[in-house]
Structure 1
Amino acid sequence: MRLLLDALAYMADAAHWSGSMGIARLLVQHAAYSLAAVAIAALIGMPIGWWIGHTGHGRALVISLTGAVRALPTLGLVTMFGLALGIGPGAPMIALVILALPSALAGAYSGVESVDPTAVDGARGAGMSPLQILARVEMPLGAPIMLGGLRAASLQVIATGTLAAYTGAGGLGRLMFLGLKTQDYPIMLASALLVIALALVSEGLFALLQRASVPAGSRQRRKEA
């Protein structure tokens, strides 16, 4: 309990929110790195996932590859890329993108595959092209599951983003590594609590987006059921 109170006192002290090691600066850095990593993973993974979900081609191969990627140790990736790229945000950013990619990819193809086949058949019967079916039917109806993939990716990246400090890239991990080096455990706990708070904010925002992305017709059917 004493450790928790000391950590809360550290966060409540206004002097700890400013400067190069201030909580505000590190929190913004952590959020920016996490958002950038998830955005890049979405730009890479979601188009591939849409294509897999729409055509059914390559699903087994991608599942095998993403399963292998999930097993990769993030710290090992940061170390490997850090040795190749040097100090800075490059190494952890690549590692975080790799971490987020499987969830973004899985959410994209699962969302497309979850669409009711009768809706797809109806769109095809109305004369829509495959691209129109994907863009106007499968992507909107599968959006909640697609966002669920990004939601999972965001939580993973925020939780692991502390490793960005391992190569001097900043973020809340700087407080964690500082506390470990100086044996200042309240600072370490404060860093962990801030990461948890950031993850909860991300969870809440994605929950709202998922709820808003459910088509009106689906929401009405759920209420009637």
Structure 2
Amino acid sequence: MNTLTGAWDWLTDPAHWSGDDGVWHRLAQHLVLTVVCLVISCLIALPVALVLGHLGKGPTVVALVLFAVPPLLTNAYVGMREVDRDVVRAARGMGMTGRQMLFGVEVPLALPMIMNGVRIAAVQLVATATIAALAGGGGLGRIITAGFNLASTPQVVAGAVLVAVFALIVEAVFEIAERLSPRWARGTR
């Protein structure tokens, strides 16, 4: 109960509602961020959804693709931002163009993080693709949904085990590929 009363006291303190760190200012920032991101998301997603809806195909694929985007985007961005800026400046000083720096310096140095995002996305997709069966898609999710329809707990569990094993295999493939890759691609010296 102390936490609730503490939160209430914080919220009812007028000092927390004004200024650059106040609730109203933070709320305005949050609103702007939300609106900007919503508009950009609508510009990207709605045309695709309208066309696919008109054609009557692909919503599961689109949903799964969108599900894979966050780990890919996040890891690639972080990998690129973590590239040593001194190395980039040296490449620029050697006369490299932006394209040469991107593909000859930054991407190779960011490759371990980029591939980590690909690995995470792949494993998440293996697990999440099972819900495609709910929308009439195929895959191992069909075993699970059929088990639910038949009230067969063993079949549901068997399907879940198959999905888990498949996810572990995908993880292992990425791990083996990382170990077999050149040292520079693993981010080790």
- Establish whether TM, by shorter chain, passes 0.5: yes
The two structures have a TM-score, normalised by structure 1, of: 0.57
Aligned mates of 1:111, 1:217 — CA distance in 2: 12
Aligned mates of 2:182, 2:125 — CA distance in 1: 23
The structure 2 residue matched to 1:93, chosen from 23, 37, 61, is: 61
Match for residue 30 of structure 2?
none
Confirm whether residue 169 of structure 1 aligns to residue 137 of structure 2.
Answer: yes
Match for residue 181 of structure 1?
149
Confirm whether residue 137 of structure 1 aligns to residue 105 of structure 2.
Answer: yes
The structure 1 residue matched to 2:115, chosen from 124, 144, 147, is: 147
The aligned runs of 1:101-120 (5 Å cut-off) are 101-120=69-88
Confirm whether residue 197 of structure 1 aligns to residue 165 of structure 2.
Answer: yes
How far is the alpha carbon of 1:85 from its aligned partner?
Answer: 6.4
Letter in 1 for 2:71: S
Change (3 A) 1:213 1:166: farther
How far is the alpha carbon of 1:65 from its aligned partner?
Answer: 4.9
Match for residue 21 of structure 2?
none
> What is the root-mean-square deviation in Å for CA atoms of aligned residues?
2.8
Aligned mates of 2:102, 2:54 — CA distance in 1: 39
Confirm whether residue 123 of structure 1 aligns to residue 75 of structure 2.
Answer: no
Match for residue 215 of structure 1?
184
**8 Å CA contact retained: 1:141, 1:214:** no
Percentage identity across aligned positions?
38
Structure having the higher Rg: 2
Q: What is the SS of the residue equivalent to 1:149?
A: helix
**8 Å CA contact retained: 1:147, 1:209:** no
Letter in 2 for 1:104: L
How far is the alpha carbon of 1:156 from its aligned partner?
Answer: 1.3
Aligned mates of 1:217, 1:206 — CA distance in 2: 12
Letter in 2 for 1:108: A
Match for residue 25 of structure 2?
none
The aligned runs of 1:36-115 (5 Å cut-off) are 65=37, 84=53, 90-115=58-83
